[in-house]
Amino acid sequence: MSQRQMGNQPMLVLSEESSRTSGKDAQSMNITAAQAVAEAVRTTLGPKGMDKMLVDDAGGVVVTNDGVTILDEMDIEHPAANMIVEVAQTQEDEVGDGTTTAVVIAGELLSKAEDLLDQDIHATILAQGYRQAAEKAKEILEEQAIEVTPEDTEQLEKVAATAMTGKGAESSKDVLSELVVRAVQSVADDGVVDTDNIQVETVVGGSTDESELVEGVIIDKERVHDNMPYAVEDADVALLDTAIEVPETELDTEVNVTDPDQLQQFLDQEEAQLKEMVENLTDAGADVVIAQKGIDDMAQHYLAQEGILAVRRAKKSDIKALSRSTGARVVSNIDDVTEDDLGFAGSVAQKDVGGDERIFVEDVEDARAVTLILRGGTEHVVDEVERAIDDSLGVVAATLEDGKVLPGGGAPETELALGLRDHADSVGGREQLAIEAFADAIDVVPRTLAENAGLDPIDSLVDLRSKHDGGDTAAGLDAYTGDVVDMNDDGVVEPLRVKTQAVESATEAAVMILRIDDVIAAGDLKGGGSDDDEDDAPGGPGGAPGGMGGGMGGMGGGMGGMM
């Protein structure tokens, strides 16, 4: 139908396949989708949180307690739900821990907002109030923070251990937190920590307690020739990003040999070239040669004769890490190699790691690159330990960089809720209601910690509030005993950044979702989510177990496999 024919009817500007939801419907549809995401991870929060088993299309299984991993595996399609997933991703990028907390807060901010929207408080007022509350929240958190120096190993180990509680790594947390702190302290450079310099290698077999930290680089390769030494002490190390091979002759070139002598001559010439390359390396003083490309068989033989330990086809990233830690300059042309290009390592040795031979380069001048070798009984165990270690490395790095920690166990959230309610009184008007709603929303963290620990959440919240009212700002919930105790004494501490970032990204996402009152979806997008949505995506309304409630049309993919 031509649009002009429509007379005084509203002009149709959207294609027929596209759908549009606006006003309150749009808001509640988005809120419901976002809440469902938060609900999906809520039961994993805290040391007594449960794990999830995620099964992908191909039958691959991941068992985890890690918020961001769960959400990544879930393959969520709803756009508002995805904004919540992004909260977890931002948290992961910025701190590496607190992903569940951030998501749960975002979900609760939206629940509380929905109540106010129902009371006809405009979303703009809510957004303003939430933003203001988040600013105030940061102030309150900063006030509560305690200083930590980069040398305060004891406190840093507590931070490391807190991030591991409730995860696969927990049973070995003493050993692991010591390793994590040592790793972060080794790579710290002028108060800045680049966790990329900490390689994590996982080994299936053995107990997690046998994990170790190698102050140096481990290469997943073996020496190229059996006659080469297994270990070299006080090694001068040459790094090559080139091959030790005679350059191939042009593809089309034919070498015409008319008698056997000529052939021999030709081969001799190649050998001589290889011999010369090896001589260049020995003349420069190399005891160990690590090449990013190949090493010719004949060259391997010569290198072995010289007692050199050589490795070929090392990863580029390994060459870089080796260059940083041994001080070697990466050589591209073997003819030019000199003593100055070589780096130094006190020990280069081939060792067995869980049945796999690897080259350990240790006792380096500047161990700015270290490797954590994590062990565990099975692949699932090691993978989950690795995720816990990632979180732990992130929080120790953040603590070392910022020098500030907070007590955990719901202490900062209780302090926030109280402080924000006080602040709301001084604001007045409708925004006061929004700030109060924000304060109520923050309580979701201690409430959930209590619930997941099998405690009565009301009793716990009352106890927490009265202790905080009495000035005990570090009072938190010990999830193991169920008592409200001083979290600093209990050793449950987290970096300030975990909490400030969680509040910030949760608020941003909640505000963004609240401000949407019109959803226009092109025909081929699964943007729906209303109850009459006929789209039968797996995990649709009421279909998926694991706390994913109704109104979830449009969330597809792997959700159906969640248990």
Enter the DSSP assignment of 453: T
The residue among 175, 176, 195, 177 whose CA lies nearest residue 186 is 195
By the 8 A CB rule, do 183 and 213 touch?
yes
End-to-end distance of the chain based on CA atoms, in angstroms?
49
Q: Is 409 in the site for ligand ADP (CB under 6 A)?
A: yes
* Site stretch for ligand ADP (CB under 6 A), options 94-102, 132-140, 232-240, 313-321: 94-102
Q: Is 394 in the site for ligand ADP (CB under 6 A)?
A: no
Residue type, 381: V
- Which residue is at the shortest CB distance from Mg ion? 97
Residue 500 binds: one of ligand ADP, Mg ion, none (C-beta under 5 to 8 A by kind): none
343, burial (CB in 10 Å: exposed 0-12, middle 13-18, buried 19+): buried
Catalytic residue among 43, 69, 99, 371, which?
Answer: 99
Distance CA 416, CA 502 (A): 13
Q: Is 97 in the site for ligand ADP (CB under 6 A)?
A: yes
Q: Is 449 in the site for ligand ADP (CB under 6 A)?
A: yes
Among 416, 450, 479, 537, binds ligand ADP (CB under 6 A): 479
For 11, 421, 488, 526, 529, the CA distances from 78, given in Å and listed in that order, are 28, 34, 41, 7, 8
Active site residue 391: yes
Q: Is 100 in the site for ligand ADP (CB under 6 A)?
A: yes
Least distance to ligand ADP, CB of residue 17, Å: 39
Give 418-423's long-range contacts (Cβ < 8 A, gap of 24+): 418/465, 418/468, 418/469, 419/136, 419/137, 419/140, 420/133, 420/136, 420/137, 420/140, 423/133, 423/136
Q: Is 72 in the site for Mg ion (CB under 5 A)?
A: no
Catalytic residue among 341, 391, 443, 490, which?
Answer: 391
Task: Tell me whether residue 472 or residue 478 sits nearer to Mg ion (CB atom).
Answer: 478
Q: Is 494 in the site for ligand ADP (CB under 6 A)?
A: yes
Catalytic residue among 69, 100, 101, 202, which?
Answer: 100
With H, G, I as helix, E, B as strand and everything else as coil, classify residue 76.
coil
Task: Tell me whether residue 30 or residue 44 sits nearer to ligand ADP (CB atom).
Answer: 44
Among 79, 343, 408, 527, binds ligand ADP (CB under 6 A): 408
By the 8 A CB rule, do 225 and 304 touch?
yes
Q: Is 495 in the site for ligand ADP (CB under 6 A)?
A: no
Helix (H) or strand (E) holding 233: strand 231-240
Task: Tell me whether residue 91 or residue 144 sits nearer to Mg ion (CB atom).
Answer: 91
Active site residue 100: yes
Least distance to Mg ion, CB of residue 163, Å: 5
* Site stretch for ligand ADP (CB under 6 A), options 10-18, 162-170, 307-315, 364-372: 162-170
With H, G, I as helix, E, B as strand and everything else as coil, classify residue 203.
strand
Least distance to Mg ion, CB of residue 193, Å: 18
Residue 477 binds: one of ligand ADP, Mg ion, none (C-beta under 5 to 8 A by kind): ligand ADP
Q: Is 504 in the site for ligand ADP (CB under 6 A)?
A: no
* Site stretch for Mg ion (CB under 5 A), options 93-101, 120-128, 151-159, 409-417: 93-101
Q: Is 108 in the site for Mg ion (CB under 5 A)?
A: no
Cα pseudo-dihedral 254, 260, 266, 272, rounded to 10: 160
Task: Tell me whether residue 40 or residue 281 sits nearer to Mg ion (CB atom).
Answer: 40
For 29, 263, 520, 528, 554, the CA distances from 533, given in Å and listed in that order, are 11, 78, 15, 6, 8
Enter the DSSP assignment of 16: T
Least distance to ligand ADP, CB of residue 44, Å: 6
Applying the rule CB under 6 A, the residues between 37 and 76 that interact with ligand ADP are: 44-47, 49, 67
Q: Any idea which residue has 């790793």 for tokens?
A: 183
Distance CA 549, CA 31 (A): 13
Residue 359 binds: one of Mg ion, ligand ADP, none (C-beta under 5 to 8 A by kind): none
Applying the rule CB under 5 A, the residues between 428 and 457 that interact with Mg ion are: none
Which residues lie below 8 Å from residue 144, measured CB to CB, with a gap of 6+? 406, 407, 412, 415, 473
Enter the DSSP assignment of 170: G
- Which residue is at the shortest CB distance from ligand ADP? 408
Q: How many residues belong to the site for ligand ADP (CB under 6 A)?
A: 23
Cα pseudo-dihedral 258, 264, 266, 268, rounded to 10: -170
437's tokens: 């709603």
Residue 478 binds: one of Mg ion, ligand ADP, none (C-beta under 5 to 8 A by kind): ligand ADP
Task: Tell me whether residue 44 or residue 111 sits nearer to ligand ADP (CB atom).
Answer: 44
Distance CA 110, CA 115 (A): 9
Q: Is 166 in the site for ligand ADP (CB under 6 A)?
A: yes
Residue 35 binds: one of Mg ion, ligand ADP, none (C-beta under 5 to 8 A by kind): none
DSSP string, 346-415: EEEEEEEETTEEEEEEEEESS--SEEEEEEESSHHHHHHHHHHHHHHHHHHHHHHHH-EEEE-TTHHHHH
Among 75, 77, 94, 97, binds Mg ion (CB under 5 A): 97
With H, G, I as helix, E, B as strand and everything else as coil, classify residue 131.
helix
Least distance to Mg ion, CB of residue 119, Å: 35
In the complex, which residues of this chain contact Mg ion (CB under 5 A)?
A: 97
In the complex, which residues of this chain contact ligand ADP (CB under 6 A)?
A: 44-47, 49, 67, 97-101, 162, 165-166, 408-409, 445, 449, 477-479, 492, 494
Which are the catalytic amino acids?
A: 66, 99-100, 391
